[in-house]
Amino acid sequence: MKQFVIPELGENIQSATIVKVLIKPGDVVQQDQSVLELETDKATIEVPSDVSGKVVEVKVNEGDQVEIGQLIFTVDADGAADAAPEEKQETQPAPVVETPAPAETLAAAPSEAPVPAPVIEEQIAAPAPAAPVVNTPAAGPKVIPVEDQPPILQNAAPAAPSVRRLAREIGVDVNQVKGTGPGGRILLDDVKLHSKLLHQQRNEVQHISAEQHQQPLPDFSRYGEVETVAMSNIRQKTAEHLSYAWHTVPHVTQFDKADITQLEEFRKSYAKTAEKFGVKLTVTAILVKIISSAMKTFPQFNTSVDMQNKTIVYKKYFNIGIAVDTEFGLIVPVIKNADRMNIIEISKEINALAEKARNKKVGVADLQGGCFTITNLGGIGGTSFTPIVNSPEVAILGVSKGSIEPVYINGKFEPRLMLPLSLSYDHRIIDGADGIRFLRWVIEALENPMKLIIEG
Ligand code: CAO
């Protein structure tokens, strides 16, 4: 008998809601067949099976909240053999066991791989301590059946038994602790510091959620008819994430306008050529390219602030998130390595990701690893707004509606197409002067794309 448990679903995802159970007792399940549709805080994802056989018992129902590692169904492996004899001979290659890694170090599979969402590197899902990471060439989140799991603690974190004992006693996962001893050895003090940081983080989260709940709502039905609707997972997590960012990041928003008259002329004249590549050239795609270049000139815009360790993390990759408006809520898929793509490639990627987001097909890996976010509301309207930094990123560019305005040039007013931009940034790491320098750089690149060729 083999078990299927909920695999790791991605960074910071502990639980999900079952939208659909795609199997029932008696069904024959093949490896990689989708067996569950889950809604996480970030997206709806189909989860493939890593076991094959005849389903004996299904332990969950649609609408259930499930956690990573939770048992979902059991299969009789011989059942699969009856149904698909060719699979009987197939044995799993011995898994390669690597150093245990925290969820946030999981890397995305190459984007061209034809894999089901979510595209994440496989990790053993059983909630055992020190569960090792297993790399297999197969796609999707994989679970090693409990009985097939390799013995744990191969290549385990280097720590003396006394250190492990302390960690166990105070409820710290020793594999998550950063060792400062010789060769990265984990010391007693490292465990204590880790525990202190966890405690601080917990207090911070509790403080924020307490703040969210401190004001009870009045009874609105006294004033008229009301309807109360449960928040979706995406809405809940958006609310929590934005409250956290608003609470922890000291925001400054800087406004300016770019004269995109020439750019718009070029965009229109290039439309037919862009069509041949199967894309529509939009301001958003051009901005992705410009921002990835601007971040090279202003590296402090490609950082994250770690106040607990008093460090600044400088990223050497350039991944740009695009806020996409969907009927399920705000989703921010990430264009990876935008600096290495041309604008046509970026346009294709925006279209593909926006469509996936709107069809609830976006994978967890599509949403991870962002360095900077662009939110373009200009297709809808608005003259300016104050976007909230998508923490732990440190800056976000808001784009409002471009419109013709009279601009005073060489002694007379001329009609120019002006694009309003709102740059919000984290004032802990970015000073006001840097903020406006960055925004001016972006505006100059919009007004004179040669800047990209020369400086970008
Ligand atoms: N000013 C004027 N017109 C604009 C514009 C702007 N800033 N941005 C886009 N447009 C125009 C485009 O040029 C296009 O017009 P044409 O059809 O005449 O060429 C039209 O609006 C539609 O553009 P688009 O939306 O298809 O393409 P895009 O690449 O500019 O935007 C995306 C893609 C995904 C950013 C957008 O569709 C979207 O979802 N925007 C909303 C983002 C959002 O919700 N942000 C809020 C986050 S905070 O709550």
Each residue of 302-323: pLDDT tens digit?
A: 999 999 999 999 999 999 999 9
Selection from 387, 423, 432, 430 nearest residue 255 by Cα: 423
Note the residue count of the chain: 456
For residue 1, the Cα-to-chain-centroid distance in whole angstroms is: 35
Using most ligand atoms within 8 A of CB, pick from 284, 346, 355 the residue to mutate for ligand 1.
284
Each residue of 258-283: pLDDT tens digit?
A: 999 999 999 999 999 999 999 999 99
Each residue of 53-62: pLDDT tens digit?
A: 999 999 999 9
Taking the centre of ligand 1 as the mean of its atom positions, its distance from the CA of residue 263, in whole angstroms, is 16
Taking each continuous run of H as one helix and of E as one strand, the counts in the chain are 11, 21
Strands (E), 354-439: 372-376, 395-399, 403-409, 412-426
CATH code reported for the domain at 1-87: 2.40.50.100
Pick 102-204's CATH classification: 3.10.20.30, 3.90.79.10, 3.10.180.10, 4.10.320.10: 4.10.320.10
Q: How far is it, in rounded angstroms, from Cα 305 to Cα 250?
A: 12
Determine the atom of ligand 1 nearest the C-alpha atom of 271: 19
199 token code pair = 């405690």
Q: Which residues lie closer than 8 Å to 274 by C-beta, 6 or more apart?
A: 280, 281, 344, 347
CA distances from 85 to 26, 115, 332 (A): 17, 25, 44
Taking the centre of ligand 1 as the mean of its atom positions, its distance from the CA of residue 408, in whole angstroms, is 28
Each residue of 166-220: pLDDT tens digit?
A: 888 788 888 889 889 888 889 988 888 888 888 777 666 655 555 556 688 999 9
Each residue of 331-377: pLDDT tens digit?
A: 999 999 999 999 999 999 999 999 999 898 888 899 999 999 999 99
Taking the centre of ligand 1 as the mean of its atom positions, its distance from the CA of residue 451, in whole angstroms, is 24
Nearest CA to ligand 1 atom 37: 324
Determine the atom of ligand 1 nearest the C-alpha atom of 283: 30
Q: How far is it, in rounded angstroms, from Cα 397 to Cα 395?
A: 7
Each residue of 398-447: pLDDT tens digit?
A: 999 999 999 999 999 999 999 999 999 999 999 999 999 999 999 999 99
Using most ligand atoms within 8 A of CB, pick from 265, 282, 289, 403 the residue to mutate for ligand 1.
282
286 token code pair = 């051009």
Secondary structure class of 429 (helix, strand, coil) = coil
Selection from 46, 29, 15 nearest residue 117 by Cα: 46
DSSP 78-143: HHHHHH-HHHHT--PPPPEEE----GGGPPPPPTTS--PSS-------S--TTPPEEE-SS-S---
In contact, 274 and 280? CB cutoff 8 Å: yes
Q: What is the CA radius of gyration of the chain?
A: 25
pLDDT band at residue 12 using 50, 70 and 90 as cut-offs? low
Ligand 1 interacting residues, C-beta cut-off 6 A: 282-285, 322-325, 330, 350, 354, 375-379, 399, 401-402, 419
Taking the centre of ligand 1 as the mean of its atom positions, its distance from the CA of residue 326, in whole angstroms, is 13
Nearest CA to ligand 1 atom 15: 379
Over range 227-239, report the average pLDDT. Answer: 91
Catalytic positions are 427
Selection from 29, 47, 30 nearest residue 38 by Cα: 47
Pick 251-455's CATH classification: 3.30.559.10, 3.30.590.10, 3.40.50.740, 3.10.20.740: 3.30.559.10
Map out the domains of the chain as residue ranges: 1-87, 102-204, 251-455
Taking the centre of ligand 1 as the mean of its atom positions, its distance from the CA of residue 378, in whole angstroms, is 6
Mean pLDDT of the residues in the chain: 81
